[in-house]
Each structure stands twice: as structure tokens, then as C-alpha cells.
Amino acid sequence: MIRSARAGTLVFMAILLSALSGPAQADCARIKPTRPGEVYLLRGLANIFSLGLDEMGKDLAKAGIENCVFNHSVWESLADDIKERSYKGEVSYPVIIIGHSLGAGAAPRLATRLGKQGIPVTYVVMFDPVEPTVVGANVLEIINYYLPKRKDNKLYPGQTFDGILENVNMTQYGGFTHLNIDKNKQLHRLIYEKIALMTDPAASSAQKPVKK
């Protein structure tokens, strides 16, 4: 794992993508990681909602986990960057993606794009997407915390998907809305616990790229 060479890679990438995309602001943890892995958090519309993802990013940084918060609109450029860094051995595994609203829709698209390139994605979390989405191969686990709408917004497995997929209807718990689901502390704790296990330096089960 190339830590010294990539310590500032995600920060540089965030600056570059923000410059290219205009309104797609990005915020990366400016830390020296103490755990393996990269977490990508994808905001929804206009960067004024989805602020629960910013809080998650701060907490992940405190735990020594490298992460960046992006607008959903840069997911394709983000996929290209991760692919290029994977060729150089600069991606730290596990790769984890979390999104809210339009960012929740972009999360499985990003994971699927990476999977097609032989880059495994260990964990994807979706907070209330606005449309139905499909996820493909090379994604180990994906969960969709959704609030049913007139238009379907569930997650579906593609033909090549063979991981763990779960749709959780959050109306059964009460109190959740589209604007607060990403900020719920109980959900945050559940996700942090999973990420802590996945990024444990002593763990030996982290996914690695598929050799082609």
C-alpha cells in the first residue's frame, strides 16, 4: 500500500474536480490516514442539502480514514480518476461509497463502473435515492435506506451482481424524511461500525483488484 505517495492524492483530486465542474464543490479530509481504505461521499442537489455526509466525513477523518465529499455530478470523472490511480497502485482498499438523494443514485453507478474495471467496491450505502437504480458485479455489499415515492426508488441487482443487496423501507421506523435521513445519528453509527471492521488494519479480508 503506497501511503507516502498518496497522502495528498485525494485532496489534489478534489481540487481538480471542483475546478473542472464549477458548482461541484468537494471537501477532502486533510489527514495522514491511519487506516486503509478510501470513502467517497456523494451529495445531492446544489451542495446545500446532504450535509449529513459532511458530518460523516469529519467523523471518518477523526478515525483516521481517508475520505472526500463530492457533488453527485462528478461521479464519472471520479470513476476515471480511481481507475487511473488503480493502474499506479495508488488506490487504498477497501473502496466505500455513500450517497444521498441524487448522490444515492450516483453511488451504485460509480460502484458498477469501477467493478467493470476490475476495481472492487466493498460497501455502498444509499440514503433515499429519487429513482430506481441497478448495481453490477464486483460490489460486495450495498444497502438502500429509502422512503417510498410515487416513482420507484428501490435498488435492483444487475445480471452479474452476486453480492449482498438490501432495500430497507425507513417509513417503518417513523420520523425520517428525504431531508433528514442522511443526518440520522443511529444510521451513522451502524455505518461507522461496518466501516471500522472493513478498515481494520489487522483484517485480512479486504477486497483487492481483480487481475486481468
Write down all domains in the chain, each with its CATH number in brackets.
Answer: 3-198 (3.40.50.1820)
pLDDT for the residue numbered 26: 73
Angle at 193 between CA 189 and CA 195, to 5 degrees: 115
**Residue 167: which residues within 8 A CB-CB, separation 6 or more?**
143, 144, 146, 154, 155
Regarding pTM above 0.85, the answer is yes
pLDDT for the residue numbered 25: 61
pLDDT tens digits, the chain, 212 residues: what are they?
A: 334 344 455 544 554 454 444 444 678 988 999 999 999 999 998 878 899 999 999 999 999 999 999 999 999 999 999 999 999 999 999 999 999 999 999 999 999 999 999 999 999 999 999 999 999 999 999 999 999 998 999 999 999 999 999 999 999 999 999 999 999 999 999 999 999 999 999 875 556 665 44
CB-count exposure of residue 19 (10 Å: 0-12, 13-18, 19+): exposed
pLDDT for the residue numbered 141: 99
160 neighbors 136 (Cβ within 8 angstroms): yes
Helices (H), the chain: 3-6, 9-21, 51-62, 75-87, 102-116, 185-198
SS3 at position 34 = coil
pLDDT for the residue numbered 8: 52
Helices 102-116/75-87 angle, 10° precision: 30
DSSP line for 80-133: HHHHHHHHTT-PPSPEEEEEETHHHHHHHHHHHHHHHTT--EEEEEEE--SS-E
Residue 156: how many other CB atoms lie within 10 Å:
14
Rounded to an integer, what is the distance from CA 143 to the centroid of its chain? Answer: 11
Residue 125: phi, psi to the nearest 5? -120, 130
What is the rounded CA–CA span in Å between residue 135 and residue 97? Answer: 13
